[in-house]
Amino acid sequence: MAEKSCIHRNSLIILLCLLIASGRIFSAVEDIAPLFPSGSDPYNFEIGQIRFVGNTAFDDNQLLAAISSGPSNISLTHFGLKVLYDQLKKNKHTPKQLDTYLKKQLLEFSIEIRFFSLLQVEGDLNSLKNYYNQNGFHNVSAAYSFLPDMAKRINVLTFHISENNRSVMAPIVYYGLDSLPREIKKEIDKFKIVDSIVPFSEKKILQEIGRVNSILQNGGYYYSKIVGKPIVTSDTLNRADSITVNIFTGKRQRIGQVILIDSLRGQSKVVEAMKEKQLEFAAGQWYSRAKVQKSIENLLSLGTFDRAIIDTTSHFVPITDSTLPMEVLLQYRELQDYGAGVFINQRMDEGFLNLGLEAEYIHRNIFGAAQVLNPFVNVAITDVNSFLSGDKFVFGEQLEVQLGIKFAQPLLWTIDDARVGFGFNPLYSFRKFNKIKFETFTMPFKFPIQLPKWTFFNTWIIDWSFDRQRPIDLQIDINNILRNSTATYQDSVWVMEAIEDYQRLDDYLKDPDATHWFTSNLLGISFIADKRDNIFSPSKGVYTNVNLNTSLAFFGDSPISGLANYSRGLFTHFDFYSISKQSVFAWKIKVGGIRFWDENNKYVSIERQFFAGGANSVRAWPSRKLRYTKFKPDTLVNENSFDILEDIVGSQYLIEGSIELRHRFSRPKRTRGIIAEQLEKLGVTAFMDFGNAFGWFAEDTTEVRISNFIEAIAVAIGFGIRYETPVGPFRIDFAWPMYDPLGQRKFAFNQGQIHFGIGHAF
């Protein structure tokens, strides 16, 4: 009787396998239905969709992440290649080499086609059960069916889940911590994750155990470790789990002798005192793994080392039962570099895309204490977008020459957990905007302060800047502007009023009765919070910068006092949210303003005035061409003169914002080839920008009203293409005005603006 039963069961299994192989499968309440064969392989069946039935605790996306099966997902590139290959296959004159190449490329995308695999699906059932079990569903059951959806003409893999009840857990019980000092016990109790009756979660259990072990290792217990796996005892009647963990702490250890070892590799040595300042620990202190890691980060931040390794050692001093000698091994990098070449860059503050030539020399340990010396010179054409976008562009009219030296001392001193550095960056620049020429000498002293990572504003920068800005041949340039304006007296008066501050600056420097070395003397402070996961292409996190500057009047009429007499503030905030592995939602807000302490003196250097429009601003307008004004280019002066004034005269206030959806194409799994490599570097974005600049210095700024900041906000929409590089994406943005408060631009194809840029707009 037993043999007949066995034969009968084996026959049913063989029959079921034959039915599956023939494209048919039994359903409990339906007749046998044929599965849809794959178009690329008629002997296999694609998974068109995966469904979950009975899941209430977790959504479909969470369960999809727990299994290895997936539906076929043909990308646009794959589809296009397939169509091209099929069409060329019909042509007998298609070159064999082209046919072979396309066939090879299609094979690279074959991973996008997902076939039903009995072995894989059985593994998925176990994965689902494990996932549920890790979250307290210890009695979960799961089954599957693979049936055709006749309406959608696809094969559907369905997982049927019976979750049953979820267990709870009490606070974790630890064995081995009885002899800990009181302060360590208090810290463990303070940072426990499971501190009450909560739903069972293996993730929370492991997080808390890891946190407890970290507290121990950062409190001197170098040998601390978890013994075995956590023990889970289930009360099936009450659906409650108790967790016990055994920890071996070992004896508490102090830091012994600290030995510094240099691997110079032919480079100049950093003095011992500077290296010792980077260490967060010292002999006699309790061992802390976190302080060791922070010390490594400090050493690498100097820029002089390729590698920094800190570990216990017995090579020079023996390890005792209560002390740990520490070895700090430093491998030096090449400390001197020099070079010259073509560069392309984009400044976030101006949005100009600049193209030019540069040469520089850099020494990362010039005086033996990791000081950086970096002299440089560059010549650039600014605002290349004007030319690339088809706007009026005269070669040589947008020009900048820079000559400067950057000096940085990475660490002067420490104040508690704050690290204070020093920077001195004198810079001479010659800039030409259309027909107006300026030379500027800037002498800024900076004190960057690095705070612990857990603080929100983790970087402060205190700076004191002396600037000397001088217009060159101003009277000649004024005459050229007047010559281009209409010949009316009213036009001439307005042009002169528009550049009145530059005339005052020129007179200030040429004053025969006084010596003036500088035109601005500003004290500033910046509070910076940078929580982005990637500074070039962030997918999550925030960036906030609060910058405040004010002129210093207590020098009187001395040569260093300066003409500037104002305070300036600028608030910038970026926020990034990861929607999926390939998509990011981002938004920004930027608000700035200038307050004058003397309404009769409104001189602000051109670098500190506010301009709107451009690749990093409201993108439906060219750089510096967006502002709220009562004037129009065709009502007072001709367009050429108006353009000149737009470039050299900024505004008192700025409001800007953007929302942007970014998507980067994914690379098909386990594919190779140049097409797949380039595909994953491409991305697209859709955006909306809004904002404006208010209080144009070319007119009476007292006429700005609060209502203007709302009703006069310009709005733009657009899309862009991105190509990722190691320093951020190269981008092309296409933008159109949705609302122009001046009524000069309409939403039309020919009113669009094209911007090329390096890096994201924010």
Single-letter code of the amino acid located at 51: R
Rounded to the nearest 10 degrees, the angle between the axes of helix 489-498 and helix 474-484 is 140
How many Å apart are CA 647 and CA 629, to the nearest integer? Answer: 15
The β-bridge partners of 53 are 160
**What phi and psi values does residue 577 have, to the nearest 5 degrees?**
-130, 130
Per-residue pLDDT, 22:
39
170 Cβ neighbours under 8 A, 6+ residues apart: 194, 197, 240, 241, 242, 243
Question: Is pLDDT of 17 > 50?
Answer: no
How many Å apart are CA 273 and CA 68, to the nearest integer? Answer: 54
What value does the mean pLDDT take over residues 4-11?
Answer: 39
Per-residue pLDDT tens digits for 569-602: 999 999 999 998 889 999 999 999 999 988 888 8
Distances (CA, A) of 22 to 11, 50, 85: 17, 21, 29
- Domains annotated for the chain, with CATH where assigned, are 1-31 (no CATH), 168-248 (3.10.20.310), 254-332 (3.10.20.310), 336-758 (2.40.160.50)
705 Cβ neighbours under 8 A, 6+ residues apart: none
How many Å apart are CA 725 and CA 708, to the nearest integer? Answer: 40
Single-letter code of the amino acid located at 187: E
What value does the mean pLDDT take over residues 492-513?
Answer: 78
Q: Quick one: pLDDT band at residue 538, thresholds 50, 70, 90? A: very high
CB distance 140 to 160 below 8 Å = no
Question: Is pLDDT of 349 > 80?
Answer: no
Task: Please tell me the least confidently modeled range out of 60-74, 171-185, 390-404.
Answer: 390-404
What value does the mean pLDDT take over residues 542-552?
Answer: 95
How many Å apart are CA 474 and CA 324, to the nearest integer? Answer: 70
Per-residue pLDDT tens digits for 69-126: 999 887 777 777 777 878 888 887 778 888 788 777 777 777 788 999 999 999 999 9
Per-residue pLDDT, 395:
55
Per-residue pLDDT, 31:
45
Question: Is pLDDT of 344 > 80?
Answer: yes
Per-residue pLDDT, 3:
39
218 Cβ neighbours under 8 A, 6+ residues apart: 288, 289, 290, 291
End-to-end CA distance of the chain: 78
How many Å apart are CA 557 and CA 54, to the nearest integer? Answer: 81
What the block records as the tokens of 499 is: 């550049």
Task: Please tell me the least confidently modeled range out of 268-277, 420-429, 546-555.
Answer: 546-555
Q: What is the pTM of this model?
A: 0.79
Per-residue pLDDT, 8:
40
CB distance 565 to 604 below 8 Å = no
CB distance 308 to 298 below 8 Å = no
Distances (CA, A) of 619 to 29, 389, 486, 501: 60, 12, 31, 29
Per-residue pLDDT, 744:
78
* 609 Cα distance to chain centroid: 27
DSSP element (H, E) containing 585: strand 583-596
What value does the mean pLDDT take over residues 199-214?
Answer: 95
Task: Please tell me the least confidently modeled range out of 478-482, 486-490, 551-555, 658-662.
Answer: 486-490
User: Within the chain, how many helices (H) and strands (E) appear?
Assistant: 16, 30
Per-residue pLDDT tens digits for 424-448: 999 999 988 766 788 999 999 999 9
How many Å apart are CA 717 and CA 626, to the nearest integer? Answer: 15
**What average pLDDT does the chain have?**
86
Single-letter code of the amino acid located at 431: R
DSSP 90: T
Per-residue pLDDT, 436:
78
Per-residue pLDDT, 636:
53
Per-residue pLDDT, 701:
58
Helical residues (DSSP H) of 607-744, grouped into ranges: 639-648, 674-679, 708-711
Per-residue pLDDT, 749:
72
Question: Is pLDDT of 32 > 80?
Answer: no
The β-bridge partners of 168 are 199, 240
CB distance 50 to 160 below 8 Å = no
What the block records as the tokens of 547 is: 């910058």
Per-residue pLDDT, 648:
83
Per-residue pLDDT tens digits for 216-225: 999 999 999 9
Question: Is pLDDT of 29 > 50?
Answer: no
DSSP element (H, E) containing 420: strand 418-424
What the block records as the tokens of 456 is: 């929100």
Per-residue pLDDT, 484:
62
Q: Quick one: pLDDT band at residue 670, thresholds 50, 70, 90? A: low
Q: Quick one: pLDDT band at residue 394, thresholds 50, 70, 90? A: low
Distances (CA, A) of 344 to 340, 358, 421, 538: 13, 10, 29, 22
Per-residue pLDDT, 434:
66
Count CB-CB contacts under 10 A for residue 280. 17
**β-pair type (427-433, 398-415):** antiparallel
DSSP element (H, E) containing 148: strand 141-149
Per-residue pLDDT, 532:
95
Question: Is pLDDT of 393 > 70?
Answer: no
Task: Please tell me the least confidently modeled range out of 448-457, 499-508, 708-717.
Answer: 499-508
**What phi and psi values does residue 526 have, to the nearest 5 degrees?**
-125, 135
Q: Judging by beta carbons within 10 Å of its beta carbon (0-12, 13-18, 19+), is residue 289 exposed, middle or buried? A: middle
**From start to end of 150-191, where are the E strands?**
154-162, 168-169, 173-175
Per-residue pLDDT, 300:
95
Question: Is pLDDT of 210 > 70?
Answer: yes
Work out whether the CA dihedral 17, 19, 24, 27 comes out positive or negative: negative
Q: Judging by beta carbons within 10 Å of its beta carbon (0-12, 13-18, 19+), is residue 439 exposed, middle or buried? A: middle
CB distance 36 to 43 below 8 Å = no
Per-residue pLDDT, 4:
39
Question: Is pLDDT of 672 > 70?
Answer: no
Per-residue pLDDT, 742:
84
Per-residue pLDDT, 485:
58
Q: Quick one: pLDDT band at residue 392, thresholds 50, 70, 90? A: low
The β-bridge partners of 372 are 408
DSSP 455: S
